Amino acid sequence: MNINIRGELYDLSSSKVMGILNLTPDSFYDGGKYNNVDDISNQISKMVEDGLDILDIGGYSSRPGAKNISSDEEKSRVLPVLKHIKKKFPQLVISIDTFRSEIAEACLSEGADIINDISSGIIDKEMMKTISKFNCPYIMMHMLGNPQNMQDSPKYKDVVIEVIKFLSQRIKIARDFGIVDLITDPGFGFGKTTENNFEILNNLEKFKILDVPLLTGFSRKSMIYKTLNTTSKNALNGTSSLNTIALTKGAKILRVHDVKEAKECIILYEKTISSLF
């Protein structure tokens, strides 16, 4: 299973680690942690050393109830950092976490490789057109509502069927725009109860019907720390547990705060399945 990144095939037959770089002051786990060039460079260097495959940069906090910010503010957070990273880490595959086509276009023009859209083109109707223009990989996530209201009272008749149906419909629309390289994300924690999240995880192999690579993002989320009666700070072991389960059910990209531990999950999982043949 491959995707095309700037004219070169990127192999997803082996699962990859996507490391999170939040440039926001209010993200649920690491908000405000990386707010100067030295801290950012040191964190990226550490992630690369730990086995990073893709860096995901976000300038808009999408945690439940997060404050809505302007596109100008989001751009001012992301663009200077992107330019710095492209100079210092030129070989790094960079994803931009944004639902705004204006941000996507600016970042793709500066050398970003992938767009990671929590709304799958719902919030900004110009996003699909922008992705098609740049012919880049596009990650589409399921979210009920928006970050400001998604956790108010999410309700589903059958969360697995409804999320798969939504993603299938967005894939069809993306294909109509001529977008070739698609990745889907069921959106753990985005408009879902803890029970919804575990029901999706339990049925994750059913997402193979979409016939595109699958990304999962559990890293230190409330589905882990609330279940374990702990905090996001102490949710690394739980994250590794769920990452391993996701790998057994077909996840090809693990989006995480902790690169080293996720890479170890992949190495051990792939060593296990290789011994079966």
Task: Label residue 271 exposed, middle or buried (CB < 10 Å: 0-12, 13-18, 19+).
Answer: exposed
Q: What is the spatial distance between Cα 97 and Cα 22, in angstroms, rounded to a whole number?
A: 9
Question: How many structural domains is the chain composed of?
Answer: 1
Within a domain: 192: yes
Concerning whether 6 is annotated as a catalytic residue, the answer is no
Q: Kindly state whether residue 4 falls inside one of the protein's structural domains.
A: no
Q: Which domain holds residue 146?
A: 14-274
Q: What is the CATH number of the domain that holds 216?
A: 3.20.20.20
Q: Which of 192, 221, 252, 263 is catalytic?
A: 221
State yes or no: is 255 an active-site residue: yes
Residue 198 domain-assigned (yes or no)? yes
Residue 72 lies in a domain: yes
Cα 97 from Cα 272, distance rounded (Å): 32
pLDDT tens-digit profile, the chain (277 residues): 789 998 999 999 999 999 999 887 754 444 455 567 888 889 999 999 999 999 999 998 776 666 788 999 999 989 999 999 999 999 999 999 999 999 999 999 999 999 999 999 999 999 999 999 999 999 999 998 766 565 667 889 999 999 999 999 999 999 999 999 999 999 999 999 999 999 999 999 999 999 999 999 999 999 999 999 999 999 999 999 999 999 999 999 999 999 999 999 999 999 999 876 6
3 belongs to a structural domain:
no
149 falls within a domain: yes
Within a domain: residue 224? Answer: yes
Q: How far apart are CA 167 and CA 144, in angstroms?
A: 12
Domain presence at residue 5:
no
